[in-house]
Amino acid sequence: MATIRLPTERGVEAFTLSPGRDFPRATPPFPRVALAAAHVVADPLAEQDPWLDAKVDWDRTIAFRKHLWSLGLGVAEAMDTAQRGMGLNWTAAQQLIRLSLDAAKDTPGAVLASGAGTDHLTPGPDVSVDDVIRAYEEQCAAVEGMGGRIILMASRALAKAARGPDDYVRVYDRVLQQVKEPVIIHWLGEMFDPALEGYWGHADHMKAMEVALDVIAAHADKVDGVKISLLDDKKEIAMRRRLPKGVRMYTGDDFNYAELIAGDAQGHSDALLGIFDPIAPAVGGALAALSRNDLSTFHGILAPTVPLSRHIFRAPTRFYKTGVVFMAWLNGHQDHFVMVGGQQSTRSIQHFAELFRLADKAGLLRDPDLAVSRMRQLLALHGLA
């Protein structure tokens, strides 16, 4: 097997890769809805200011969505994994959504939902709650006008403008009354985006949950589900058990997804996860095993991916996208490790080395020789050739 010298806390040591793993291929229907929040592929040759501009390689970006669909997963488009509001602006997000919708039409069975938020509205003291409502209305109308299904994203502008829970209720009431089809509400925690701290009008997540549950209950016919990204399985389960009948819980917990998807006697979570982007080859087989009630195989496939996910999403969690794109580069889905906003610089070489080891243990390096070659390029860039 291939061997590479990687940095550790003790110095640089040899690491021998494991034998490759072939995951069982499976196609829907699955016993859980499984949406992967997909990343975008930057265009490294475009003339730009890397920290300010968002130049995207659209062909490679759409090819990756087709890869996810080929594995039986749905795609959650233009979300934070795609660096939405963190390099990718609303103008580029609209183009991304439009191209993905076009590709979905040509892909039998493709499932796609797209983020609508307020990121074209810059938060500030002069932004009112009415401004937030109009911003949501604009983006929702744009997504629906393209024929898309909405994921209603959390709003930085609302977090800044709201004076308490009643302002959140007012905004979501107005927006949900107008949408044509049921939406997925996304509650993104402050660990993913510090600007969203205190969302729903409370710093305490359990108090915030009460506000969110009241909103959902009042509009259950317009809510397909809620995705919470709080990295706390107990909070997710507590909310899941109180959702109105027919409203799904989409786990956004990249630390505890295996157990939450498996569920318990009182219910389970579906999934809308950023980690499904790099671990997609493992997901279909795991869900197929779950459909047979084969929990041993389900956990046997997913359990080795959890340490990898916890490492990718470690604090500062908002930098997880760097690990997602690093995996795509290692696995040949793109020819470079360059990201929108220059985000490839947000993690250390020690972080990448451990990610490489964990990806190998999870069987997620599909071409070990290619992965070793690319890892050596990164090591050389850090003076470790």
Q: Tokens standing for 375? A: 């890892």
**What pLDDT is stored for residue 53 in this prediction?**
81
Handedness of CA 117, 120, 123, 129 (dihedral sign): negative
* C-beta neighbour count of 55 within 10 angstroms: 17
3-state secondary structure at position 331: coil
* C-beta neighbour count of 149 within 10 angstroms: 22
Write out pLDDT tens, residues 211-240: 999 999 999 999 999 999 999 999 999 999
Split at pLDDT 50, 70, 90, the class of 1 is confident
Q: Partners of 14 in the beta sheet?
A: 5
Report the candidate in 230, 238, 173, 184 with the shortest Cα–Cα distance to residue 210.
Answer: 238
Q: Where are the alpha helices (DSSP H) in the chain?
A: 58-70, 90-105, 129-145, 156-161, 165-178, 205-218, 233-240, 257-262, 276-291, 295-302, 305-312, 320-330, 349-361, 368-381
* C-beta neighbour count of 321 within 10 angstroms: 28
Mean pLDDT rounded to a whole number for the chain = 97
Say how far apart CA 381 and CA 64 lie, in whole Å.
Answer: 26
Say how far apart CA 157 and CA 134 lie, in whole Å.
Answer: 12
Tell me the CATH number of domain 30-349, given options 3.30.530.20, 3.20.20.70, 3.10.20.600, 3.40.50.300: 3.20.20.70
**What pLDDT is stored for residue 184 in this prediction?**
98
Say how far apart CA 167 and CA 175 lie, in whole Å.
Answer: 12
> How deeply is 293 buried, as exposed, middle or buried, from its count of CB atoms within 10 A (0-12, 13-18, 19+)?
exposed
Q: For the CA atoms of the chain, what is the radius of gyration?
A: 20
Beta-strand relationship, 248-251 and 223-229 = parallel
Split at pLDDT 50, 70, 90, the class of 3 is very high
- Taking the whole predicted model, whether its pTM rises above 0.95 is answered as yes
Write out pLDDT tens, residues 134-172: 999 999 999 999 999 999 999 999 999 999 999 999 999
Write out pLDDT tens, residues 79-108: 999 999 999 999 999 999 999 999 999 999
Query: Could you please report the per-residue DSSP string of 1-69?
Result: --EEEEEETTEEEEEEPPPP--PPP--S--SS-EEEE----B-TTS-S-TTT---B-HHHHHHHHHHHH
Write out pLDDT tens, residues 25-82: 899 999 999 999 999 999 999 988 888 888 999 999 999 999 999 999 999 999 999 9
**What pLDDT is stored for residue 29 in this prediction?**
94
User: What are the domain boundaries of the chain?
Assistant: 30-349
- Contact predicate 272/246, CB 8 Å: no
